[in-house]
Amino acid sequence: MSANPFSFKLLKTDGMARRGEITTPHGIVNTPAFMPVGTQATVKAMYPEQVQATGADVVLGNTYHLMLRPGAERVARLGGLHTFMNWPHTILTDSGGFQVMSLAQLRKLDEDGVRFQSHIDGQKYHLTPERSVEIQGLLGSDIQMQLDECIKLPSPREEVQRAMELSLRWAERSRTQFEAMGGPGKGQGLYGIVQGGDVPDLRIRSAEELAKMPFEGYSVGGLAVGEPQEVMLRMLEVTTPVMPVDKPRYLMGVGTPDDLLESVKRGIDQFDCVMPTRAGRHGLAYTRYGKVNLKNARHAEDPRPLDEAAECQATSGYSRAYLHHLVRCGEGLAAMLLTWNNIAYYQTLMKGMRDAIEAGAFEDFYAKTKEDWARGDIAAL
């Protein structure tokens, strides 16, 4: 067995909000946790050391992109993903299913898996539940995901049910492959993915069926795909109560700071989203007073930093006028500083929630955070 087998410890609850620790062979992940997205084995515009310094315990790598370039077998020959990207901490990889559905060309899905052409060069691939887990095993990620089918919302109930039931069958196949590759003995974890679209009874059935399988954690998938936030939160309210209490719960592809706050309130432990890094590359900063668009001309002569009280050097050490100048000139440093700020803010938000849950003061933190966002950045002038 690994010296650090996969485990989850629930340390404290406050209402539905949970404070816990996930142990993997590469360290402890404090939950609730936001996982910066390192799609191509890099969190865009950031050094790994910077990412870790913001408080991130774990980053996400993408199976679809890494199977296309540079290839899972090559990464394995080069020592695995941790060595390849110089990230000695926990790594979660997704299954590639979402990207196949959203990016790949000429895809064809059947019971066996999905055949598709690369969006890069048109090369043909066949991704099955077994191959997805094999790729993740070659990458050597600590937390791996089953292959599932993620459909767009809204969709007819019959289509939602078909995809949910297929995902359940794929969950069993993914688990069999994970155990055949020795994942549990390496201290790794495999998560099942709850599907069911925006149909409550299908969500509940999916969660209940998955809970009968011996996964190390459980994810909520198929949300944040264009539906209103209220729909997502309603689905969480019916789903999390039937998910295992003693296993981590991961809401995939979410979200805004408000999404994170609302979802932790409803019992979610892990999140990932490209939003903070993508926003940083497009001149948008997240702060405790809400969003700041550095493209806006009102910042052109503003000598103040984004937030003078923040520990992050990108947030407190550069003037808005300078950041505005970098954004308007298209300088690479703009993306670097604003991405750094955004990831740091997300991690500060998560730590604030963890501390509040430990203190039994989550509702107070929730109210104060909402109040600061409502005041807005103008009020901070």
| Residues taking part in catalysis | 94, 272
Give the tokens for residue 177: 């492959």
Q: Are 21 and 258 in contact (CB under 8 A)?
A: no
